[in-house]
Structure 1
Amino acid sequence: MNTTTFGLDIAKRAFQMYWVETETGEIVNRRFTKQQVIEFLGQRPAGRVALEACGSAHWWARKIVALGHEVVLLHARFIRPFVQNNKTDATDARAIWTAAQQPGMRSVAPKTADQQATLALHRMRSLLVKSRTMQVNQLRGLLYEFGVTLKAGRVAGLAEVRERLHEIEEVVPGTLFDALRDQLQHIERIDGEIRKLERQIVAWQRQEAACQRVATIPGIGPLTATALVATIGDPAAFKSGRELAAYLGLVPRQSGTGGKVRLGGISKRGDSYIRMLLIHGARAVMFKSRSKGAWSEQLSLRRPTNVVAVALANKMARTAWSLLAHDKTYQTDYAAQRAS
């Protein structure tokens, strides 16, 4: 008997499901509540349930797998071309079902609860870092309006503010000085919250063998290792390290016609946060590491710095996939052998 494929359009309260009964050929497009979806799938024989990889999709994937079904998560960009006429829940469910039938359609690996929690910690930390940067920049601007200039850099600038508080108090009106002192305390609280989140992230990294293996790659620290492992999920979801690099937007953008393909800048697809971490890690290797590696040193002789950084980030991502997919440990001078 053929397996039934369901196209499920999820939301907060309204859920639309499209499928074709394999025995009768009947086309069904029904609306459910959240509990009705769970009860319906719990009563059905094992099948394939296709979802759009959107908000709460990974929770639904884990729930549906627990009910005995196979889950296929699809990127919204791959579903949109199959939406016919006006966009509604019913047409979206049918488009998801249609996209899942296409041969070679790429899917997203469902994440575990721990992986989602780790990525949530990263998002919280990223927002706090952004807020701290805004607060420090505002502090610099307000003091500059009263003729007070500070050293470059967040740490050096804040240290100078604390050292010169008595001098600043004489220059700045009292009403503003009290507010500036409160802002300094607020920045300190943000620093404490960031450090607390980083400790939680490092704790997860220490208990995950995959994170420990990836962290041995030069340029990848606890933040990048945990974010990368949590984002990749199941390494089997990618056919190769090149496919992972393309997923992260670290490959050239292609534009071709008439049999001629032109390569541009990087595509910048996928998760910009992971791409930023990898590129910053690559820059750290280029400018901080004592042993940059023969490959990157030779590349830096003939290519611009930014190109080398992105190329090294691409290599780091591909190396990380290889370690995870083949359960290997990192070797400094490892040379891949081509199959004869």
Structure 2
Amino acid sequence: MPRKFDTAVVTIGIDPGKNILHLVGLDARGEIVLREKVVRARIVSRLANMPPCLIGIEAGMGTHYVTRELLALDHDVRQVPPVYAKPFRQTHKNDFRDAHAVAEAVQRPTTRCVPPKTDEQLDLQALHRVRYRLVGQRTAIINQIRCFLVEHGITVRQRLHWLRHALPDILAQRTDVLSPRMVRILEDLAQDWRRLDDRIEAVTDEIDVLSKNTEPCRHLMTIPGIGPIISSAIVAAIADGAAFTRGRDFAAWLGLVPKQISTGDRTILGRITKRGNRYLRMLFLQAARVVLLRPRNWMQHSFGPWLAAAAQRLHHNVLATALANKLARIAWSVLVEHRVYETRLSTAAV
């Protein structure tokens, strides 16, 4: 049976933990009428008999599943980013005060909440995270091999393929400076490198197949510089882009806009904010640098006049960031309008 004070609850704030969730419920006047701890496995049964209400849960690990389960109970469930809930926390931090802050933040119309991800999005996001970890491990092994070789006076040109090509000859011919133990260590590291290459290739192939079979990804891949990896990462992060009202908001969420510190009539712009999805921001910057490597193609991508003028006055890193911002806004537009990217060439350019 529902508890007596459950009928007065209008808003609930949830602070998620690994095993225990802290709940704080507010009535119509904002008074606390519910305050308890619930085991994660019982959160759905605890709120099943309550009248539909507004529920805010701090976005984090495992909250997408809880959100979908509570939405099925006709509750209005929204995931609140921690950065939006923090200003509402009073005095010292604890779990119940965090839950209270979430309940206060979710009631504000300006709070931008995180839409729940589907199982397909979570699977695609998991593939990207696994691939990112594997690439990092491979980079660590390559750097370790280079360090061991440098300690023995052997240097190899930068870039991965030069070391891969030179390592077998070094192990076979430079026994004058490499001890048998060091040769064995380097061979073991080379085997680890090959295993990671196979894992990365398998995950990349799986992402490629998913991208080619997903219509939003195919639309995104028509944008210059965006391929299967970036397109699938965008879909995994924002789905159809409905969480943002315009492309500028998406670029701001990625942290690709300058930090503004303005007062009075003075507008002061600093470095980019670097907020939001760090992995996706890195991919957009890589896409921008790929486009910048081919100036001959700028005109056919309809970037020609703007990009050529910007290249004359901006540092190459600033130019890459500006182009990444533009690509992000184009990507949002392609997702929202469900269409492919179309180049627009002026009559003079043609």
Query: Shorter-chain TM-score: what band?
Result: over 0.9
Aligned partner of 2:312: which letter?
L
The answer as to 2:330 corresponding to 1:324 is no
SS at match of 2:276: coil
Aligned AA for 1:79?
A: A
Q: Which amino acid in structure 2 is aligned with residue 197 of structure 1?
A: V
Question: Following TM superposition, by how much is the alpha carbon of 1:21 offset from its aligned partner in structure 2, in angstroms?
Answer: 4.4
1:194 and 2:200 are equivalent in the alignment: yes
1:182–1:258 Cα change, 3 Å: same
After alignment, is 179-188 or 251-260 more displaced? Answer: 251-260
Q: Paired residue for 2:147, among 141, 145, 150?
A: 141
State the distance in 2 between where 1:23 and 1:298 align. Answer: 57
Residue deviations 1:129-167, cap 9 Å, x none? 111111111111211222222222111111111233320
* In structure 2, distance between residues paired with 1:204 and 1:49: 34
Give the counterpart letter for 1:312 in structure 2: L
CA distance in structure 2 between the partners assigned to 1:212 and 1:3 by the alignment: 45
* 1:260-282 CA-partner distances (Å, limit 9, x unpaired): 22011111111111111101110
Deviation track 1:160-198 (CA, whole Å, cap 9, x = no partner) reads 112333202343111111111111111000111111111
What displacement does 1:95 show? 0.8
CA positional deviation for 1:232: 1.3
Tell me if the contact between 2:254 and 2:275 (Cα under 8 Å) persists in the aligned partners.
yes
Q: Deviations over 1:62-99 (max 9, x none)?
A: 22222222221111011111111222222111111011
Distance, in Å, in 1 between the alignment partners of 2:93 and 2:327 is 40
CA distance in 1, matches of 2:163, 2:35: 61
**TM score, norm. by length of structure 2:** 0.90
Gaps of 5+ in 1: 336-340
The one-letter code of the counterpart of 1:191 is D
Matches within 5 A, 1:44-193: 44-193=50-199
1:25 CA drift (Å): 7.3
Amino acid of the structure 2 residue aligned with 1:110: P
Aligned-pair identity (%): 35
Match of 2:310 in 1: 299
Change (3 A) 1:165 1:6: same
2:18 counterpart residue number:
12
Structure 2 equivalent of residue 237 of structure 1: 243
**In 1: Cα distance, 2:220 partner to 2:325 partner:** 14
Any conservation in 1 of the 2:250–2:328 contact (CA below 8 Å)? yes
- One-letter amino acid of the structure 2 residue matched with residue 311 of structure 1: A
> Does 2:263 match 1:250?
no
Shift of 1:3: 8.9
Which stretch of the first structure deviates more once superposed, 215-224 or 39-48?
A: 39-48
Partner of 2:231: 225
Deviates more, 1:188-197 or 1:101-110: 101-110
Match of 2:4 in 1: none
Aligned length: 335
Matched residue of 2:77: which SS? Answer: strand
TM-score scaled by length of structure 1: 0.92
Q: Residues 207-222 of structure 1 correspond to what in structure 2 (within 5 A)?
A: 207-222=213-228
Instruction: Provide the C-alpha distance between the structure 1 equivalents of 2:287 and 2:30, rounded to a whole number of angstroms.
Output: 57
SS of 2:117's equivalent in the other structure is coil
Contact persistence 2:8–2:33 (CA under 8 A): no
- 1:262 is aligned to 268
The letter of the residue matching 1:183 is L
Secondary structure of 1:7's counterpart equals: strand
Cα separation, partners in 2 of 1:70 and 1:233, compared to 1, 3 Å: farther
Matched residue, 1:338: none
Alignment match, 1:313: 324
Deviation at 1:288, TM superposition (A): 3.3
Amino acid paired to 2:52: A
Q: Distance in 2 between matches of 1:291 and 1:150?
A: 33
SS for the counterpart of 2:270 is strand
On the 8 A contact 1:110/1:233 being kept in 2, the answer is: no
Which ranges of structure 2 fall in alignment gaps of 5 or more residues?
1-6
Q: CA 1:26/1:107 → structure 2, altered by over 3 Å: closer, same or farther?
A: closer
For 2:293, what is the secondary structure of its paired residue?
Answer: helix
Offset, 1:311: 0.9
In terms of mean alpha carbon deviation, does 295-304 or 24-33 score higher?
A: 24-33
**Does the CA-based 8 Å contact 1:3-1:46 persist in structure 2?**
no
Partner of 1:164, secondary structure, is helix
Task: Give 3-state SS (helix, strand or coil) of 1:31's partner.
Answer: strand
Any idea what SS the aligned residue of 2:60 has?
Answer: coil
Further displaced range: 16-25 or 319-328: 16-25
